[in-house]
Structures are given as C-alpha cells and as structure tokens.
Structure 1
Amino acid sequence: MKHVTLRQIKIFESVARNLSFSRAAEDLHLTQPAVSMQIKQMEGLAGLPLFRHNGKRISLTEGGSLVLRHCQVILADLRAAEQSLANLLSGGVQHLRIGLITSGSRLFPHLIHSFVQEHAAVDLDMKVGPRARLIEMLRSEQIDVAVMVRAPDLPQMVARPFADHPFVLVAAPTHALAGQRAIPLARMGAECLIVRESGTDTRIVADDVFLGQAAAPRHMELGTSEAIKQSVMAGLGVGLLSVHEVDAEVRSGQLQLLDVQGFPLLRQWQVVHSGDRPLPPAAREFRQFLLADGGAILASLAGH
C-alpha cells in the first residue's frame, strides 16, 4: 500500500469508525460516491477487501481491522506533530480536552482548576455530557480523556480508577422513611424511584441494584440531576444520585439521606482514554494528576 494517500487514510478511518459510508461522507463533507470510490481504490492497493457488506450494514474484515490500526497510528502521529508545531508557534501553550459526566459537574471543575493553576500554559476545553456521549467523543477524538464511573466495555479504551464515588438514596425531609434506620432494600419496592435516563452512569447503578429485585420500585426518568433533586424535594419520590450531587442540599436540610441497607453504594471514578493513540502531553499530565492526587482532592472538596 505504498501509494495510499493521506486523503484515503482519513476517509477509510472515518468509514471504519462510523461503519457507514454516508456518515463518513457527512463527517468529511464529501459525497457518498466519492467516499465509495476512494475505499475501492484503497482496497485495490491493499489487494483484499477491507469491508464486508451485509445488506445496508458494513463491518471490517480481518484485513480492514489490521489496516485501521495502522491508519490510527499514522493519524495520531500527524495530530501530535500538529500539536507540537502549534505549541511552538504559541509559545508552548498545550491544549487539554476533557470530557466529564454530568454527575461530576459539581466538584470536578474545582479539581480541574487545581490542575490548571499548576500548569499555566494549558488551554482547557471541557465538555460535560452523559456517559455514552463521552465514549463517542473519545472514539471520534473530540476529547483526549474522560472522567466517568463505568469504564467502557471496548478493547481500545484504557480505564484506571482514581477515587471512590458513593451513590445514595435521598428523600424529602417529610418523607415517611426519613429518619428511619437500616431500611430493608426490599422496602424500596413500594416507592417511586426517580432516576436519570438509560445509558447514564447513575442509571446503570440504579439498574445494578434494583433490576434483580423481586419487587423493584417504579421508575420515573428525568433528564438532569437538578430535575431529580427538585422532584424529590417536592415529594414525588426517592432519588438515586451521586453523593457529590446532593451534598449541598443535604447540608441545608432540603434533602435527607435515607439509611437503606446496602447504601451508600460505592463505585469508583475512572479516568478513560483511547489506547489506540498516544495522549498529548497535557492530557498525559492530567491523567497522572488524577491518579496521584485526585482522590485526596475530591475528598477535601466534598468535606467543605
């Protein structure tokens, strides 16, 4: 494949990532016939099919998977070169692209600020969104590292835990269960459990706990943690949220932690990145910062 072009490599990588010729065409602002033609030319250079077709669906062949790994390395090296040149031209400013799940939006900006204070030459780009969106942003290289609770079940993703992340059940202070001790988990079957939507880390935790119960509580799905807290305060049900998200409301007396058996439910914060490409220097330093100091800083922030 010594005559393959950079344009063909970019087109192939986009088709392989999206598993769609049409979505790749949208990504690259090309027509679908142009994308198909470049893939055919690349398959001719490779001497074997790179994709198998099953109706309208496509998947990578063994040869396609092999070519993809090499293309990802080539593109990663080019991006690293571009970043190095940009750093040189800008006097050493490094870009840090972080993705953060919604349940971390209260404490993590303060933790990230601690890192940025020590690295004055870092230009921060932070995205906040649900877990599934962050995973897609990692795969499409829109962010370099992500912070979430459940590590992606994808072989190319590397995840390391760095801090405890407890989840709790909360109710309005006037709720019948408020103030009771050692509430049996089965008792929650009589409650309306207010949770985040499917695919979020918080909802995954709720499903882990309650889907196997003989008498699972009725679920009410809401799109934001703030909506859940307000609904719980209004007496519409019991909320399952990260302890970090409800700390202020519990301290002010607007919400009360329920003493339910098995809670707080302990999970861990994970720092995640793609193992298919090298981390830029700023992202590498931020990851090391989380692994070394993230747990202690989060504990300090949660204690205030």
Structure 2
Amino acid sequence: MRQLTFRQLRAFEVIARHGSFSRAAEELFLTQPALSIQMKKIADEVGLPLFDTSGRKVRLTEAGEALRVLAREVSDSVARFEQVVDDLKGLKRGRLRLAGVTTAEYFLPRLLGPFCAAYPGIDVELVVANREEVLERLRRGDDDLYVFGQPPDDMPVESAAFLENPLVVVAPDGHPLAGRPPGTSVSLAEVLEHPLLMREKGSGTRIAVERLLAEHGLRPHIRMELGSTEAIKQAVLGGLGLAVVSRHALATSVGLTELAVEGFPLLRHWYLVWPAGRRLSLAAGALIGHLSG
C-alpha cells in the first residue's frame, strides 16, 4: 500500500461517490482510459478487485468499501491541514468550497463577485445541485459552507441568514388570473383551481408551500414534479400550470407574471449552513461576515 498516492485515492473516492467512471472523469478533468489505468494500479497494489462493474452502476467490493473509508479519512486530514495552512497565511491565499441548491444559481454568483474582488487570493469552488444532493454533500462534509432556503432540521448544523427569499406565485403572461385590477388579490382557492407545478419532495420551496396550504386545509392538484427552478419556469411558460418560485428566479425571466395572491409573497431567507461544531476556515468566516454582516 506504500505506492498509493493521494491523487489516486482522490480519484477513487470520486468514482465511489458517483458510482460512475464517466461522471468521475468529468469532475476530475481526466479521460476515462486515464482514470481506469489509475484504478488498475490501485487494484494491483491492493491485490483485490475494488469495483463490481457487472451492472449499470459501478459498485464497491468489500475491499473497495474499506478503501473508500480510508480515502475519505485521508481527504479529511488533508483538508484540515490545508485549513490550518490557510489560517496561518491569513486571507492572502486560500480555497473556499461552496454547495448550494439550484435556485441559488440565480443570485449566488452575483453576490460572490464583490467577495472575490475583496479577497482575490481566495479560490472559490461552487457546486449547484438539488436539495437532496446538497444534503448528501453536507452529510459527507464535502464543502466548507452550504446554501439552503431552509436549513435541514434532522442534522446538527449551524446557520446564518444572509438574504431575503420571497416566494411568489407565477403564471404565463396573459393568464386569466393575471388581469386583476391593481390592489386586488387572487385567493388561494382560485389558485388551486389550476394545476400546480412543484419541485421534488423535500425541496425548501415545496415544504413552505405545503405548510401554507395545510394551514388553510387545502390540497393542491399537482400536475408535475420537476427537479429545478428553471424546469419549473419553462413548464409554466408552456402552459402546464402555475408554480411557486423564488422571486430571485424571475429577475431575467421573460413571459412570466407574478400573481398577487393572498398570503404571498411567503417571506423566507437564504442561509449559509455548516456542520455544528466544525471549525470554520478564515475564508468561510469571511464569507459569512461579508454576506450576513
């Protein structure tokens, strides 16, 4: 095992996480043949097969699972060392890893611009994914900070609110409910006369909408579930139904109308989240102060 390198362990951990050589190759900016050669070197060093490739998805053997635990421990140790080094250097150099739910793509890059200008020596990595994927990254501790519209309540985390997140009801331009006189609102009952387009179960937006409707004893007719806000917007434009989205997602939208609905906008916040008890790097602390200060 003395011949294993950190680069090889890192590549192995990425394959194990994705369950796919192709997706791992994309993340690592390697070709699949080059990645396969590295994995063969590891298997030869271990003396046992690491992957079961008999099905569509790559699965770990017993030896592979043991190596995955080792790779994760090594990665965590290196990350802790890098954090200590970054702290010793102050904020002249460093790396900040962020992961956020999909709607964050509409505002987070814009907010990161001034931060990166203030700290040009900090390299920022941003991953955008659906809520379940970001939660899984949080469980594994892949990143320094996580962006949620609603922090998880089933994990020990700390959070800091940094931006208002008003949720609004949207319809395509010309929809019958969009022509109300100024100062008049649409009732929830009228909204539910039309099919709704909803995010996947567990998303922060869906949780907020379901709570509101439950408070009024209402049940929606959900025509379709979609995995991203952009897909929701396109479905609304296609006339498939109404939807509730973050107002931030409408900044550059054409063809959508925000409806004046009673009880809306639902006033929420965006949060920076991190595991409870984790020592934050100087870069992570600087971002929290920059966005929430």
Normalising by structure 1, report the TM-score.
Answer: 0.67
- Structure 1 residue 132: deviation in Å? 2.4
Q: Is the 8 A contact 1:130 1:199 kept in 2?
A: no
2:284 aligned partner, one-letter code: A
| Structure 1 residue 195 corresponds to structure 2 residue 198 | yes
Q: Determine the structure 1 residue equivalent to 2:235.
A: 231
CA distance in 2, matches of 1:33, 1:217: 46
Q: Deviations over 1:183-227 (max 9, x none)?
A: 111222211111111122222222122245444221121122222
- Structure 1 residue 77: deviation in Å? 7.2
Secondary structure at the aligned position of 1:272 is classed as: strand
Q: Deviations over 1:85-111 (max 9, x none)?
A: 47889x953010011111111111010
Q: Determine the structure 1 residue equivalent to 2:258.
A: 257
How large is the Cα RMSD of the aligned pairs? 3.4
Q: 1:265 to 1:86 in 2, by over 3 A?
A: closer
CA distance in 2, matches of 1:231, 1:33: 42
Q: Determine the structure 2 residue equivalent to 1:278.
A: 279
CA distance in 2, matches of 1:240, 1:196: 9
Normalising by structure 2, report the TM-score.
Answer: 0.69
What 5-or-longer segments of structure 1 have no aligned partner?
A: 1-24, 39-71, 293-304
Secondary structure at the aligned position of 2:176 is classed as: coil
| Structure 1 residue 182 corresponds to structure 2 residue 185 | yes
Secondary structure at the aligned position of 2:252 is classed as: helix
Q: Determine the structure 1 residue equivalent to 2:43.
A: none
Q: Determine the structure 2 residue equivalent to 1:159.
A: 159
Equivalent residues, number:
232
Q: Is the 8 A contact 2:103 2:228 kept in 1?
A: no
- Structure 1 residue 153: deviation in Å? 1.1
1:139 aligned partner, one-letter code: R
Q: 1:160 to 1:82 in 2, by over 3 A?
A: closer
CA distance in 1, matches of 2:232, 2:211: 19
- Structure 1 residue 33: deviation in Å? 10
1:291 aligned partner, one-letter code: S
Q: 1:240 aligns with which of 244, 248, 252?
A: 244
Q: Is the 8 A contact 2:160 2:288 kept in 1?
A: no
Secondary structure at the aligned position of 1:235 is classed as: coil
Q: Is the 8 A contact 1:159 1:272 kept in 2?
A: yes
Q: Determine the structure 1 residue equivalent to 2:147.
A: 147
Q: Deviations over 1:231-289 (max 9, x none)?
A: 2122221111000101222xx4x111111100111111111011232112111111111
Q: Determine the structure 1 residue equivalent to 2:122.
A: 122
2:278 aligned partner, one-letter code: R
Secondary structure at the aligned position of 1:288 is classed as: helix
CA distance in 2, matches of 1:137, 1:33: 20
CA distance in 2, matches of 1:227, 1:34: 36
Q: 1:280 to 1:76 in 2, by over 3 A?
A: farther
Q: Is the 8 A contact 1:188 1:217 kept in 2?
A: no
Q: Is the 8 A contact 2:163 2:269 kept in 1?
A: yes
Q: Is the 8 A contact 2:165 2:269 kept in 1?
A: yes
CA distance in 1, matches of 2:216, 2:282: 46
- % same residue: 31
CA distance in 1, matches of 2:205, 2:132: 12
2:169 aligned partner, one-letter code: L
Q: 1:289 to 1:213 in 2, by over 3 A?
A: same
Q: 1:235 to 1:76 in 2, by over 3 A?
A: closer
2:118 aligned partner, one-letter code: E
CA distance in 2, matches of 1:92, 1:258: 47
What 5-or-longer segments of structure 2 have no aligned partner?
A: 1-49, 52-59
Q: Determine the structure 2 residue equivalent to 1:210.
A: 213
Secondary structure at the aligned position of 2:178 is classed as: coil
